[in-house]
């Protein structure tokens, strides 16, 4: 059984994960408007991952017999006018998610909630991967600058990302 404080914190994170999915879908729409269909496809896969993260929180809360609370979803605004700016926003968002996960870990440690600590370990590992992927793409985009042929090639490469 987890505490009410932990239940609330996990429900809040569940909502953040679903909001992240909505943000990535909005970003995919922006990429489509920019005629970057490969980037849009990459972001759609990202949307699916975030939705699955929300479901992991949902299922864990159910397994713990927690009271499920559902917050109103909020999607941040897409503030990107270039492919580089889009992925800088992706990285910034993932860093925010990492901080939220760390806050949950600290709460679980304070409460000696070892089951939740074990559950959150997967998310810690996932966030390392998420930040690394975005950082790598940003480095490539900075390397190529405004070269449209190179942007076309990166967009084509991003299209190859598959779910799962």
pLDDT at 71: 85
Q: Which of 60, 59, 61, 133 is nearest to 94 (CA)?
A: 133
> How does residue 76 score in pLDDT terms, banded at 50, 70 and 90?
confident
Residue 65 to residue 21: CA distance in whole angstroms: 25
Domains and CATH numbers, the chain: 4-158 (1.20.1260.10)
In sequence order, the 6+-apart residues with CB closer than 8 A to the CB of 45 are 161, 162, 163
What pLDDT, in 10s, does the model give residues 97-147? Answer: 999 999 999 999 999 999 999 999 999 999 999 999 999 999 999 999 989
Per-residue model confidence (pLDDT) at position 81: 85
Per-residue pLDDT, 72: 84
- In contact, 84 and 141? CB cutoff 8 Å: yes
pTM of the model: 0.94
**Most distant CA atoms of the chain, gap in Å:** 56
Sequence-distant (6+) residues with CB within 8 A of 70 are 11, 15
pLDDT score at 73:
83
Q: How many residues does the chain have?
A: 164
Token pair of 57, please? 């929180």
């Amino acid at each position: 059984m987890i505490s009410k404080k932990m239940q609330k914190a996990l429900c809040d994170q569940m909502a953040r994960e679903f909001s992240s999915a909505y943000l990535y879908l909005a970003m995919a729409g922006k990429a489509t408007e920019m005629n970057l269909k490969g980037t849009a496809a990459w972001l759609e896969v990202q949307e699916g991952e975030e939705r699955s993260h929300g479901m992991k929180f949902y299922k864990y809360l159910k397994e713990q017999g927690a009271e499920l609370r559902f917050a109103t979803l909020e999607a941040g605004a897409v503030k990107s006018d270039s492919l580089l700016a889009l992925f800088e926003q992706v990285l910034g968002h993932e860093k925010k998610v990492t901080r939220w996960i760390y806050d949950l870990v600290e709460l679980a440690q304070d409460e000696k909630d070892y089951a939740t600590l074990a559950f959150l370990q997967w998310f810690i590992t996932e966030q390392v991967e998420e930040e690394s992927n975005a950082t790598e793409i940003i480095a490539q985009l900075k390397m190529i600058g405004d070269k449209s042929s190179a942007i076309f090639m990166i967009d084509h490469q991003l299209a190859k990302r598959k779910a799962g």
